[in-house]
Structure 1
Amino acid sequence: MHPRAAEFRERAAEEHGLEIDVEEFPEGTKTAADAAAAVGCEVAQIASSLVFLADDDPIVVVTSGANRVDEDALARALGADSVGMAGTDRIRETLGWSIGGVPPICHDSQLPVLFDPTLSGFETVWAAAGTPQAVFPVDPERLKRLADATEHDVTV
């Protein structure tokens, strides 16, 4: 197992009491479509952790791979004047993970997390496990609780 995926698995157990089965795919799971193809599930079952800056404050949006975040809706939901995707360096510095492998939990900093209600329609969703080749299955309601996320539809 990749050291970063192993680190995520250990942190999930220590921080949340979550025993996870990390699955790794050499072909990669960078996009929701890649992850769904590798896992053998619907694209909508991929829980993508996206990092935005709302008035320069980072926020994580865990969204279904079938949806796209509407930045205007996100700004309205947060009462922010401006919203945009966070850059790679800011994500790594704030969350401790790199783009393509950002998990929905176990971040280095406490950040607000919004959760796409589409994910709640599934028994199992798949989320990044610390690398662009690693994912783990989890019950979406449990994931929402562990992430201390607020369910809010900010997608199109």
Structure 2
Amino acid sequence: MIDNQQGPKLPRHMSFGWLIAVLGNDMANNLDGHLRKIGLNISLWPTLFALWEEDGLTQTELTNRCNTAHYTTTRLLDTLEKMELVERQPHPTSRRAHLVYLTKKGRELEVEATSLARLCNDEVLSGLSADEKELAHSLMLKIIKKRNPNMHS
């Protein structure tokens, strides 16, 4: 079928963007279901994951690493503080900035939460061989880094 204004129409299953959106939504819903069992949810995941990788980040660093809007990060940090998972401390050289640190309770969730994430990844990739998993990962990373060269890795 040809659309004279846009060229040939592709069915959804041939659209890379559609496939990524479907897979991303499926993975997010799956992880959210697992995280809820331990009192978390998918919206908190990127911030916690970034802090488990490197504690003591500024809000701006978290915003950049999580690819979220600054106001979204502020609200997420407010929620995480109320849950007693993070705390903000004054920055030693900036009067306006604060450093965000995990609390003991926040650090204690890392093993269980990342195990749940690994389980979700394993479920999604279960139909692939080890070589296919490695290839899929490297191709996704290549695409993302090409689109966002400043991505923290």
TM bucket (normalised to shorter chain) is under 0.3
TM-score norm. by structure 2 comes to 0.23
More helix by proportion, 1 or 2? 2
Specify which structure has the higher proportion of strand.
Answer: 1
TM-score by length of 1: 0.23
Higher relative contact order (CA 8 A, sep 6+): 1
